[in-house]
Amino acid sequence: MNVVTPQRAAAPAPVGLLAELTHRCPLRCPYCSNPLELDRRSRELDTATWQRVLTEASELGVLHVHLSGGEPTARQDIVEITQTCAKLGLYSNLITSGVGGALDKLQALYDVGLDHVQLSVQGVDAANAEKIGGLKNAQPQKMAFAEKVVELGLPLTLNSVIHRGNIHEVEGFIDLAVKMGAKRLEVAHTQYYGWAYVNRAALMPNKAQVDQSIRIVEAARERLKGRLVIDLVVPDYYAKYPKACAGGWGRKLMNVTPQGKVLPCHAAETIPNLEFWYVTDHSLAEIWTDSPAFTAYRGTDWMQEPCRSCDRREKDWGGCRCQALALAGDAAATDPACSLSPLHAKVRALAVEEAAENPPDYVYRTIGSNVRSPLKEEASL
C-alpha cells in the first residue's frame, strides 16, 4: 500500500464548505455518496460548534456554504445555522430532498436569508422516483416544495442523479425543470462512491444510453438558452479524461462530516492511511493548511507517471484519489477513469460488463446497516 507522506504545496484559500449537518434522511437512495458507516444523531456536532465552524470558514476566505447531509432540514437548528451564514455574509445553498419537514421550514429559512435551494429529484415518473428514493409519496412533497421555493423568489436548481434506472427520463427531467421554474438543472451521472459503489452494477448504464443522454442535453441547451442552464456530469467509467475531483485535492473545498471530521472530499474516508482532523480539536485554518489528509495529495509532488509528466496535471489534478484507491488499490495512482491510465481498458470493460447484465436489486442507504464495501476485493484490478 502506498504510504502517504505530507507535502507542503501552497494552499490557496478554500472557496466552498460542504457542511454535512446530519446523515439522517427520509430517503434511502442507492446512489448516495455518503459513507456506508453513517453518523448517528448522538454523534452530531451541536449548534454552537457549527456556528464556530462557519465563523472560521468565513475568516479563512470561504464564500459558499452548502448545507447538506443526509437531509439538512432534519436538524432542528437548520434555521439558526442558516441565519449564521447570512450574518457572516456566506452564500448559503440548501441541498435538500424536499421531503420530511423541509416544506415546513422553508419560509423561516427564507426569512433569515437563505440564498439558494438545490432540490434532488430521483425520477420523473412518480412510481419510478419513489422506488429509487425508497420512500412512498415523496414526489408530491417535492413538487409542493419546489412550488414554494419559486413562489418565494429563491433561485432553484434541480439535481437529477442519472443511472440505468432513470436514464430514459433525461428529457423528462429537462421538461420538469422548466415546468417547475428552476433556473438550473444538474444532469449528473452517478459517481461511484459510498453507497453508489456498492450499487454500481444496479446503476451502471451502457455507453449507448450515456451517449444518447449527452445528445439530449446538448440539444436542450440550445433550445432553452436564456431560460435554463443545464450542467452535465458525464460518467467517469466512460470518460476520456477524469474530472478535477473536488476542484483538485485541498484546493477549493472542505467537507465537514456530521461529527466534525474534516475531509478534502466527501469520499476521502475510504482512503485507509489518511489522518483526518476534527473541528473539535483544531481550527479550520489549521486543518486546511497542516492536516495530513489535506496535505497528502495537494499540488502535484505526489504524482506518479503518467500524471507526473502529463500536461493536463494542473487541469484535472490526476482525477479522483478515491476512485484511484478503489480501482487501482493506490490513491496516488492515475485515476483509472483516465484513458492514459494502464488500467483504463479494464475499468471500461467492467462498466460494459455490468451494464449488460440484469441489474441486481438496490441496496438502500440505511443508518446502522452492516453492508460492507466490495472495494478491497476490487482494488486489485
Name residues contacting ligand SF4, limited to 232-251 (CB under 6 A): 241-242
Residue with smaller CB distance to ligand SF4, 252 or 313: 313
Sheet holding 229-233, edge to edge: 229-233, 184-189, 156-162, 116-120, 91-96, 64-68, 16-20, 253-256, 262-263
Tell whether residue 246 is a contact of ligand FES (CB under 6 A): yes
- State the Cα–Cα distance between residues 198 and 237, nearest whole angstrom: 15
Least Cβ distance, residue 317 to ligand SF4 (angstroms):
7
By rule CB under 6 A, what string of x and - marks binding of each residue 285-324 to ligand SF4?
---------------------xx--x-xx--x-xx-----
Cα separations in angstroms, 13 against 195, 277, 301, 351: 31, 18, 19, 37
Tell whether residue 333 is a contact of ligand FES (CB under 6 A): no
* Strand partners for 187: 160, 232
Stretch that binds ligand FES, among 81-89, 230-238, 316-324, 343-351 (CB under 6 A): 316-324
CA 365, 74, 26, 185 dihedral sign is negative
The Cβ of residue 323 has, within 10 Å, a number of other Cβ atoms equal to 27
The residue within the footprint of ligand FES, chosen from 17, 67, 320, 355 (CB under 6 A), is 320
202 binds, among ligand SF4, ligand FES, none (CB under 5 to 8 A by kind): none
Q: What share of residues in the chain are helix, strand, coil (percent, to 5)?
A: 40, 10, 50
265 binds, among ligand FES, ligand SF4, none (CB under 5 to 8 A by kind): ligand FES
DSSP state of 338: S
2, 325 contact by CB (below 8 A): no
310 binds, among ligand SF4, ligand FES, none (CB under 5 to 8 A by kind): ligand SF4
Q: Which residues bind ligand SF4 (CB under 6 A)?
A: 241-242, 306-307, 310, 312-313, 316, 318-319, 334-335, 338, 340
Known binding-site positions for [4Fe-4S] cluster: 25, 29, 32
Q: Which residues bind ligand FES (CB under 6 A)?
A: 193, 245-246, 265, 267-268, 320-323
